[in-house]
């Protein structure tokens, strides 16, 4: 049997739309066990990705059964879809003995998703800035998150499908907003790499997607403002939402969680906070 463990991910981190992401210590685990007979069509996203890997490499698809232990909430902006894709691809790579590298797997996963912001950190770990070049090749830079930094995931009870969140985005943006986001995305990556946490309140600001998704996430603006007021270094909509993620120094975490829980208790939406550390290692494959 083969066990694949994949971390949750947060994409965009404010201004890094479709290109910056972060791996978090919240995991889905899937156990793959060979089964007799041919692989059946259909199945969930894990099995679809597993099958796609074999088809890409012109290999017969083996029979397999899976057991899932899913801790990443679905349709909450924490990379549950990417985790499924990564699990299927990593399992197929191991079981077929193809021997693709982590980078090659990340490239495949990003191609399937259409953008690398969740797929790259899910496999590579840490915080990753990545793009798919004109020829489809992924270019990336990864940085590990220092131990002093944690992340407060503020997760509501309601869901927000990615398709709905993407449908809210405008077709075009102004040059002014383009400059705004490009400058903040550059500042974000440079600040995390240098440990300049005081830049993050500015660096996590966004004009590409958050203003347009705000009506879909009740109290989003208030929660972000309150997070910053309660000593979060930066706060932003995680991926397509509706989860809101905050950079929080571990030394401030206890008071931050306590104060934010009181604030959130007065809001509708069933908001809960979970303090998470960054996962700097990425997805793991283990033979049992």
What is the pLDDT of the chain when averaged over all its residues? 95
176 Cβ contact partners less than 8 Å away, ≥ 6 residues apart: none
Rounded mean pLDDT, 252-262: 97
Residue 41 pLDDT class (50, 70, 90 cuts): low
pLDDT at 151: 98
Question: 260-275 pLDDT, tens per residue?
Answer: 999 999 999 999 999 9
Domain boundaries, the chain: 2-144+279-287, 149-276
pLDDT value at position 191? 98
Instruction: Give the C-alpha distances (Å, rounded to integers) separating 48 from 43, 55, 178, 180, 222.
Output: 6, 11, 36, 39, 39
Query: Does domain 2-144+279-287 sit in CATH 2.40.50.100?
Result: no
**In CATH, what class is 149-276?**
alpha beta
The mean pLDDT of 195-222, rounded to a whole number, is 97
pLDDT of 43 higher than 90:
no
Between CA 208 and CA 159 the distance in angstroms is 21
CB 51 within 8 A of CB 147: no
Tokens 């600040």 belong to which residue? Answer: 191
Q: What's the mean pLDDT in 49-63? A: 94
Q: What do you get for the CA distance between the two ends of the chain, in Å?
A: 5
Contact assessment for residue 237 and residue 204, using Cβ atoms and an 8 Å cutoff = no
* pTM given for the model: 0.94
pLDDT of residue 36: 82
pLDDT tens sequence across 130-156: 999 999 899 999 999 999 999 999 999
Which residue in 88, 82, 68, 106 sits closest to 240, CA to CA?
82
Report whether pLDDT(40) > 60.
no
Answer for the pair 271, 154: CB distance below 8 angstroms, yes or no. yes
Mean pLDDT of 192-221: 97
Query: What pLDDT is recorded for position 140?
Result: 97
DSSP letters, 159-195, are ---HHHHHHTS-S---HHHHHHHHHHHHHHHHHHHHT
pLDDT at 42: 63
Give 87's pLDDT tier (boundaries 50, 70, 90).
Answer: very high
């Amino acid at each position: 049997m083969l066990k694949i463990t994949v971390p949750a991910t947060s994409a965009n981190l404010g201004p890094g739309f479709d290109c910056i992401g972060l791996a978090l210590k919240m995991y889905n685990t899937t156990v793959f066990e060979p089964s007799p007979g041919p692989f059946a069509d259909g199945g969930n996203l894990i099995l679809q990705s597993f099958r796609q890997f074999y088809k890409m490499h012109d290999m017969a698809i083996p029979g397999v059964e899976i057991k899932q232990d899913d801790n990443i909430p679905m349709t909450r902006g924490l990379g549950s879809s990417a985790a499924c894709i990564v699990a299927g691809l990593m399992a197929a790579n191991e079981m077929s003995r193809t021997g693709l590298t982590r980078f090659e797997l990340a490239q495949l996963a990003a191609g399937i998703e259409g953008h690398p912001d969740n797929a790259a950190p899910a496999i590579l770990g840490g915080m990753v800035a990545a793009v798919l070049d004109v020829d489809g090749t992924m270019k990336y830079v990864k940085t590990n998150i220092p131990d002093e930094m944690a992340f407060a995931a503020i997760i509501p009870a309601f869901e927000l499908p990615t398709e709905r969140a993407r449908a809210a985005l405008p077709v075009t943006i102004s040059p002014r907003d383009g400059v705004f986001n490009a400058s903040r995305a550059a500042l974000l990556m440079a600040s995390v790499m240098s440990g300049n946490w005081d830049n993050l309140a500015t660096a996590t600001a966004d004009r590409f997607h958050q203003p347009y998704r705000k009506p879909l996430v009740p109290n989003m603006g208030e929660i972000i403002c309150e997070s910053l007021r309660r000593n979060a270094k930066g706060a932003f909509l995680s991926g397509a939402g509706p989860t809101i993620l905050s950079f929080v120094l571990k030394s401030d975490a206890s008071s931050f969680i306590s104060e934010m829980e009181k604030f959130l208790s007065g809001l509708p939406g069933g908001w809960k906070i979970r303090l998470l550390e960054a996962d700097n290692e990425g997805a793991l494959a283990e033979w049992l």
